[in-house]
Structures are given as C-alpha cells and as structure tokens.
C-alpha cells in the first residue's frame, strides 16, 4: 500500500479551489505515486 501525503492549503489556495470546483477543501491528500505524477509527470520522448 502506498504511503499517503497530506498538504494543508492556505486561505488563498482554499479560495482558488472553491472558485474552480465549487467545493470547500482545507487540504489535499494524495498517495506518493499521485504526488509524484503531479510534481514530475513522465513524458515519452521519441528517439531516445
């Protein structure tokens, strides 16, 4: 099972989430794989 990471949002980030989704969020919770995909998404490069 992957380890979970919780990231608390600032008031400004909470407002941005509310504006974008219409939902309230005080923090984001992701597993390590989900977090890694968002930080450094893999791209396929031809010719390597």
In a domain, residue 45? The reply is no
Residue 26, pLDDT score: 95
Q: Which one is predicted more confidently, 3 or 15?
A: 15
How many other β-carbons are positioned within 10 Å of the β-carbon of residue 43? 5
33 lies in which domain range?
4-39
Rounded to two decimals, the pTM is 0.61
The total number of structural domains in the chain stands at 1
Q: Say if 25 falls within a structural domain.
A: yes
- Give the chain's length: 48
* 46 belongs to a structural domain: no
pLDDT score at 1: 63
User: Exposed, middle or buried, 39 (CB in 10 Å: 0-12/13-18/19+)?
Assistant: exposed
- pLDDT on residue 24: 96
17 is a domain residue: yes
What is the per-residue pLDDT for 48? Answer: 61
Across 22-36, average pLDDT: 90
**31 with 3: CB under 8 angstroms?**
yes
In a domain, 21, yes or no: yes
**Average confidence score pLDDT of the chain:** 87
For residue 48, tell me if it sits in a domain.
Answer: no
């Amino acid at each position: 099972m992957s380890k979970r990471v919780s990231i608390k949002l600032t008031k400004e980030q909470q407002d941005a989430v509310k504006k974008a989704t219409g939902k309230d969020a005080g923090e984001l919770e992701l597993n390590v794989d989900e977090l890694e995909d968002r930080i450094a998404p893999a791209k396929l490069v031809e010719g390597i």
